[in-house]
Chains A and B, each alone.
Chain A
Amino acid sequence: NAGVTQTPKFQVLKTGQSMTLQCAQDMNHEYMSWYRQDPGMGLRLIHYSVGAGITDQGEVPNGYNVSRSTTEDFPLRLLSAAPSQTSVYFCASSYSFIFTTGRSGNTIYFGEGSWLTVV
């Protein structure tokens, strides 16, 4: 059981380049989401998904695309990177309801983060 796995851990992009941050979870969670965290700031929600084939925008969706073709994977795509997208990105996953089986249903699990620099 690996939990939430993000790749790559570090990435440097040039302005205008595209890339995809990968996120995978092996806990059969319905919900998956992407956050960004800028230095000294809290987490801000980019996009989230309530299940395969369903995605929705969060607080700061501009410049990012997502898709959810499987339960396990939730990639985040930057189509044309900008310096303002320099940040740490966290992927997270959870069961759908608070009372889902056991303690694990009561929490959301985060990946270790992906550090992205756009120059």
Chain B
Amino acid sequence: DAKTTQPTSMDCAEGRAANLPCNHSTISGNEYVYWYRQIHSQGPQYIIHGLKNNETNEMASLIITEDRKSSTLILPHATLRDTAVYYCIVRSETDSWGKLQFGAGTQVVVTP
């Protein structure tokens, strides 16, 4: 069973904020939310992760709802190079990295 649900695709105008939603209604208390992205023909790239507090780094911000059943990845000023498939994953700190499961993700297209 899929642990996360994401929209199949979304468009965003260059320079605007891109808000990517993810539902994880069955998340457990010790599971983190991770975001990765995959630019065409490249290996997936780590973006950000969080447990229950909102997080920000040089790439993006992660907003997790108080009940932790959903989250939003925010790319504050989307550029054409942000066009990629974005994956939302939940993972416990005790889970083997070797069992990391990627779903279909959200295809984000940033347009000029």
Contact = CB atoms under 8 A, between A and B. Distances in A.
Interface stretch (B14-22, B66-74, B90-98): B90-98
Chain A interface size, as a band, is 20 to 34
A58 interface: yes
Interface in A52-94: 56, 58-59, 90, 92, 94
Contacts of A110: 43-45
Given A42-B87, A98-B93, A113 B101 contact: no
Nearest to A108: B97
A95 B103 CA distance: 22
A16 B102 CA distance: 29
A45 interface: yes
B93 A50 contact: no
Given A98-B93, A99-B93, A106-B49, A112 B42 contact: yes
B100 A98 contact: no
Contacts of B46: 106-109
A58 B93 contact: no
Interface string B48-89: 010000000000000000000000000000000000000100
Contacts of A107: 46, 49
A113 B42 contact: yes
B32 A108 contact: no
A117 interface: no
Contacts of A4: 43
A57 to B, nearest CB: 10
Q: Which 9 pairs show the lowest CB-CB distances between chains A and B? A: A48-B98, A110-B43, A107-B46, A43-B102, A94-B97, A98-B93, A31-B97, A42-B102, A42-B104
Interface of B: 32, 41-46, 49, 87, 93, 96-105
